[in-house]
Amino acid sequence: MTAVSPLTRNIFANFGGQAATTVIAFVTVPLFLRFLGPEGYGLVSILLVLQALTAVLDFGLSTTANREVTRYVAQARPPEDRHDLVRTLEVFFYAVGVLLLIAFAAGSSWLATRWLTSPHFDASTVRTAVFVAGAAIAMRWPVALYQGILRGTEEHVVLNVVTSASNLIRGVGSILVLLFIARSVLVFYWWQLAFSALELVICLTAVGRYGQGFTGGGGRFRAPLLRDLWRFSASVGGMSLFALFLKQADKLIVSALLPLSALGFYNAASLASNGLSKVAQPVQAAVFPRLTHLHQQRDDRRLAQTFHRTVRAVAFLSAPLAALLMFNAHDVLLVWTQNAELAASARTALAILAAAMMFNSLMGVPFSLLLAAGLTRVPLAMNAAGALLLTPLTYVLVLRHGITGAAAGWLLFNVLYFLIVPFVMFRHVLQGEYRTWLTRDTFPFVVSALACFGAARWVAGGAAMTVRAGLAAAAMLLYLALVVEWGLRPRGGVRARWVAVRALLRPGAAASVAATAPAPGQGREGSP
């Protein structure tokens, strides 16, 4: 029996963790809507936006910790160096957590009276909710560091067991306190604070047992070490700053211009589309240490193999899921939330956001390659330009088209990112691979998925939901059949692929095509 490679094991572990998180969100969001109402869920949503925005305050050090831990393991650094690295980073993370608590305490009154105003909640309730949410964010702030350590040591199985169990307890506990204590936003956030403390203890325990000596015990704070890490960290932090602003700007603008109920609808559509990122994130998290290792060894052949294979894996999975959401947005929202008003109001936004997240997911592995190669200026410049140009555009689009306009702005940015960043990247690393990226890694999967699901939706017309669901399932089977017949790696131009499709339609041709098609894992690239 062939042993499973660490990369494969970690990818499957990450998929398992993401699947658990997605299922928990799928189950809990409709219950939150039911227990808290659109206004209450809107308040929860805006505070989640604040949590995401504060994530930039680690200045890229969680990603840097991941990279440095990988380097320390490869170099077989002694235990004292490992302890010093972790203790130095711990001092920074815990200090930022304290500053966050102070900032939320000081700003809660302003947020309650100047921004998060609502006829359904008095200022005192909103102020308390903001403070408790801030305390929960501050409490779990160092968790990102410990997760980075587990990623860097490639203990992804342990990491995903910890995060999945934490998300399950957090989600189930939230429902239970709302069901049996009080259906109140304040009760919801007090539970978040209590569990954040428990989550921190769990992560500390996991790192102490599985972190391969990367614990702060006995270590010293070394300011020179922090300065050495700062250049790479600052670049990653800048990218994170602009990226998080880009991802949250639409919600901030919607919250400022539209009612809280509209924000709740838009956030539900955003959560549904973000499910696509669950496809790219497990691969991206697992492949980043491998790409870093291969790039440092100057092994361009294996680097190209690993890059193309993992990009195709993401494209193969994300393209049909995006097409499913794009052409069946109303049905998905209605089945998920059981809220007809939400499904009608957010269906167009979800369709557009699904297209945006498809392009966003396809950029996950290229982004990992950029970080592995130290090419941080390319995405940094793109994110900065996007933040400067997209924000005013989104403002205008929201004024004119509501939440649909917000989604359209996010789609425009992701399409431009997909077209521009790889074109520049392949001039510096894996030169000459740009055409392969377009013609074999991404476009064939995207075009096939859109064609299959678009045709199914056109045939369905105004049929009943059960008929539409059946046709969507048929579209998925057709997509899988086409991809499998092409050996999971479509080759040649558009004409060659059209000839292959026509060959499949001829009686008796399927067997001959299957017999001559390359098996998955064979071909010019070989195996990663």
Same domain flag for 215 and 236 = no
Same domain flag for 143 and 193 = yes
pLDDT < 50 regions, the chain: 1-2, 488-528
Residue with tokens 């991206």: 284
Does 487 reside within a domain? no
Burial environment of residue 437 by CB neighbours within 10 A (0 to 12, 13 to 18, 19 or more): buried
Same domain flag for 116 and 158 = yes
Which among 466, 500, 515 is the end of a domain? 466
Which among 188, 221, 254 is the end of a domain? 221
Same domain flag for 206 and 257 = no
User: What was the pLDDT predicted at 351?
Assistant: 92
Does 517 reside within a domain? no
Distance between CA atoms of 199 and 216, rounded to whole angstroms?
18
User: What was the pLDDT predicted at 59?
Assistant: 66
Q: Which two tokens stand for residue 400?
A: 């004119």
Residues 250-285: tens digit of each pLDDT: 888 887 888 777 887 888 888 888 878 777 788 887
Same domain flag for 255 and 136 = no
Query: Helix/strand/coil (H, E, C) string of 108-173?
Result: HHHHHHHHCCECCECHHHHHHHHHHHHHHHHHCCCHHHHHHHHHHCCCHHHHHHHHHHHHHHHHHH
Does 157 reside within a domain? yes
**10 Å Cβ neighbour count for 462?**
6
Same domain flag for 406 and 313 = yes
Same domain flag for 278 and 369 = yes
Same domain flag for 270 and 354 = yes
Range of the domain at 413: 229-466
pTM metric for this prediction:
0.64
Distance between CA atoms of 396 and 398, rounded to whole angstroms?
5
Does 491 reside within a domain? no
Same domain flag for 360 and 410 = yes
Q: How many domains does the chain have?
A: 2
Residues 367-380: tens digit of each pLDDT: 888 887 877 777 77
* Cα–Cα separations (whole angstroms), residue 125 to 31, 264, 267, 353: 21, 19, 22, 32
Same domain flag for 117 and 166 = yes
Which among 466, 483, 501 is the end of a domain? 466
Does 499 reside within a domain? no
Same domain flag for 137 and 158 = yes
Does 300 reside within a domain? yes
Distance between CA atoms of 137 and 101, rounded to whole angstroms?
8
Does 520 reside within a domain? no
Does 141 reside within a domain? yes
The angle that helices 61-74 and 223-257 make with each other, rounded to 10 degrees, is 140
Same domain flag for 290 and 390 = yes
- One-letter identity of residue 458: W
Residues 108-147: tens digit of each pLDDT: 777 767 666 666 777 777 788 888 888 888 888 888 888 8
